[in-house]
Amino acid sequence: MKFRMVVGIAAALGVASAGQAQTVQTRDTGAPVGDNQSSQTAGEDGPVLLEDARLIEKLQRFDRERIPERVVHARGTGAQGVFVSDIDFSNYTRNTVFAAAGKQTPVFVRFSTVMPYRGSAEAARDPRGFAVKFYSDQGNWDIVGINFPVFFIRDAIKFPDFVHANKPSPVTNIQDPNRAFDFFANIPESTHVLTWLYTDTFGMPASYRTMDGYGVHAFRLVNAQGTQVFAKFHWKSRQGLKGMTLEQTRAADADYATRDLYDQIRAGNFPSWDLYVQLMPAERVGQLSYDAFDDSKIWEDVPEVKLGTMTLNKVPDNYFEYSEESAFAPSNLIPGVEASPDRMLQGRLFAYADTQRYRLGVNFAQIPVNRPLAAVANNNQDGFMAASGRNDDINYEPSLAKPTPRADAQYKAAEYPVGPTAQIRAISKLDNFRQAGALYRSLTAAEKEHLVKNLASDLGRVKSPEVRRLMVGHFYAADADYGTRLAKAVNVTVEDVRQTMAAHPEQFPNQQ
């Protein structure tokens, strides 16, 4: 499905847009160019003239072609498509994307690796970003997730440290497993996601088409009557799941995932994903043995409900203006979807929108790929690259001079109780290892073998025996067979691992 995202001023005036065929080359101002091959000079052998506006414009524009790359998710690929709802889900949310069976909502999806830079190879042992922007009739709604159901840390205060440890060294500019595992050795909650990461299927997808996507965090769904329920979102690939072995990864084309996605879409083999949701009423949250808002945990024994299907059917006409200028943020919510107390989500609500304003400017939402199809009515103005088309003298509210758009009480955020004491304290239900062990035991014999091999290929390069023993201790606490096999693969003994675990009771409180 092709959809038109915006009608620009040029189109409204009947003026040819940049994408249309032109008979005469022009400057950015639209003025025709007489010569695009030679600079204006003072005679044949004289200096180039500063008054050559075409030359100056080309050089100035060229000097500014690069924008700050994303700190994370810099290497990415986007595609356009449509989401079709299967059901009327209004009993649970006033989100109009799910207002009726058969309702269609345009989407833009950006896939990515997380840590590598913009020009890096796609075959990296890394989570894959899976960010979906719905252009709904209530505004833009982003589900900004990855291809795992869990994350590395549970509190956003550790996010800069997590990224620094996994980015290249500030001294050598080389990614170093010594730095990464030095960090993870002190973060036992990472055991679960590291087990996902070092599988073939999830840690090294064979394509963007053959992986799932997860919203990771819990969200709050609210219906028109104000009834609330917590929810987690899951995109299930209709192409099935497929990963690559360590050997296949090392031999992979640097652009293998983008090439596959675009080739398949252009051939008419449109990839699709079914969207599912898990629902958890507030009264059940306190009954769990784990913290429902801990993003290092999955929701156990909570069934999924299918909401609809997303199909990607168009390669964007301009990579930069879609994939690079697209701006996703978990704070881009619409009525019927609100945040949960998930501490990682709470930090992302601020950080993602803030980084887009740094990267693209305060008016990033006016860029076509980010511009909502719903009408925008507010008093924001000016700033870099403003293109709102505002022509009204009344840029404030309320006003007696004329009626102006005002807030509508029906769209207020839902009320909910909070704790009476402000505090700085870790969550009480840590449960750092149990789900990692369950995941390991769910794997086939071959998958276990590959998991240990993949993990040892990085952990085995760590120079510090203490870090290696402590890391193996995390996996041993998850499952004794898991830890024993990994200990052998990275050249430490199980006895030494147990002694290291005993020396760190703060990480292994239930292992004594």
Q: 456 to each of 60, 242, 348, 496, how far by Cα in Å?
A: 49, 21, 32, 17
**Residue 434, CB half-sphere, CA atoms under 13 Å: how many?**
12
Write a three-state SS string for 141-154: EEEEEECCCCCCCC
Among the listed residues 428, 442, 470, 425, the one whose alpha carbon sits nearest the alpha carbon of residue 188: 470
Domains and CATH numbers, the chain: 76-191+199-366 (2.40.180.10), 434-502 (no CATH)
Predicted local confidence at residue 6, as pLDDT: 39
Predicted local confidence at residue 403, as pLDDT: 86
Predicted local confidence at residue 29, as pLDDT: 86
Q: How many Å apart are CA 445 and CA 466, to the nearest integer?
A: 29
Q: What is the pTM of this model?
A: 0.92
Q: How many Å apart are CA 249 and CA 253, to the nearest integer?
A: 9
Query: Is residue 276 classed as helix, strand or coil in its secondary structure?
Result: strand
DSSP-derived pairing of the beta strands 128-136 and 104-113: antiparallel
Predicted local confidence at residue 20, as pLDDT: 57
Q: How many Å apart are CA 301 and CA 315, to the nearest integer?
A: 38
CB 266 within 8 A of CB 315: yes
CB 198 within 8 A of CB 455: yes
Say how many residues make up the chain. Answer: 512
Return averaged pLDDT per consecutive 10 residues of the chain, 512 residues in all.
40 46 83 92 92 91 92 97 98 97 98 95 96 96 98 97 96 96 98 98 98 98 97 98 96 97 98 98 96 98 98 98 97 96 96 95 95 91 89 89 88 89 92 98 98 98 98 98 98 97 93 57
Alpha-carbon radius of gyration of the chain = 26
Predicted local confidence at residue 86, as pLDDT: 97
Q: At which residue do the structure tokens 């979906």 appear?
A: 132
Q: At which residue do the structure tokens 């992979």 appear?
A: 252
